[in-house]
Amino acid sequence: MSRPKRGLFVGRFQPVHNGHIKALEFVFSQVDEVIIGIGSAQASHTLKNPFTTSERMEMLIRALEEAGLTEKRYYLIPLPDINFNAIWATYVVNMVPRFDVVFTGNSLVAQLFREKGYEVIVQPMFRKDILSATEIRRRMIEGEPWEELVPRSVAEYIREIKGVERIKMLATNLESSEKELQAPIRIPEF
């Protein structure tokens, strides 16, 4: 039996949204198996990375099932950042099973893998103006509707784990620490 053709797709998934799922549907149509790397795996509880790796994994499992990708054709692999661009692609190669091609819309990721000799396919983008995790996090903080931008199962899961409350709390903490920094320094009287 010939070896399955595998694609690599890396994202932070903070949170998983409909753009990721559309991109993954494209990737699944091109290869037999997909290695989904969960980037910045060490990060959580910040405004850019509010969700933990286990929460992001749960979102991916539920969303892929909802999208009808029920056959187990994917691997979820956490990838903590190493903040070292020159060796990042080699690091990823050492953290995941063998793969044949990289799918990405991130130009740095594309460049780093191309320089290592990998085939890179730039996946199509879908409504990047709104299908962006940054926009979804912004809407959550501002109290604007965001649910339509993510799979139903992901919206439900975020409600279950009180994800919006967490992001709002993180935003409030940041605001009050910024205020503290801006407050005039009071020299105590002795």
Ligand X SMILES: Nc1ncnc2c1ncn2[C@@H]1O[C@H](COP(=O)(O)OP(=O)(O)OP(=O)(O)O)[C@@H](O)[C@H]1O
Ligand Y SMILES: NC(=O)c1ccc[n+]([C@@H]2O[C@H](COP(=O)(O)O)[C@@H](O)[C@H]2O)c1
Residues forming contacts to ligand X in the complex (CB under 6 A) are: 11-14, 19-20, 22-23, 104-106, 123, 125-128, 131-134
CB of 175 to ligand X, least distance (A): 20
CB of 22 to ligand X, least distance (A): 6
Q: Find the largest Cα–Cα distance for the chain.
A: 82
Residues in contact with ligand Y, total (CB under 6 A)? Answer: 14
Q: Does 83 bind ligand Y (CB under 6 A)?
A: yes
Neighbour tally for 144: CB within 10 Å: 10
Q: Does 135 bind ligand Y (CB under 6 A)?
A: no
CB of 182 to ligand X, least distance (A): 27
CA distance 152 to 100: 32
Q: Does 82 bind ligand Y (CB under 6 A)?
A: yes
Q: Does 24 bind ligand Y (CB under 6 A)?
A: no
CA distance 112 to 86: 7
84 binds, among ligand X, ligand Y, none (CB under 5 to 8 A by kind): ligand Y
Q: Does 163 bind ligand Y (CB under 6 A)?
A: no
Q: Which of 108, 122, 125, 169 binds ligand Y (CB under 6 A)?
A: 108
CB of 125 to ligand X, least distance (A): 4
Residues that bind ligand Y (CB under 6 A): 10-12, 39-40, 81-85, 88, 106, 108-109
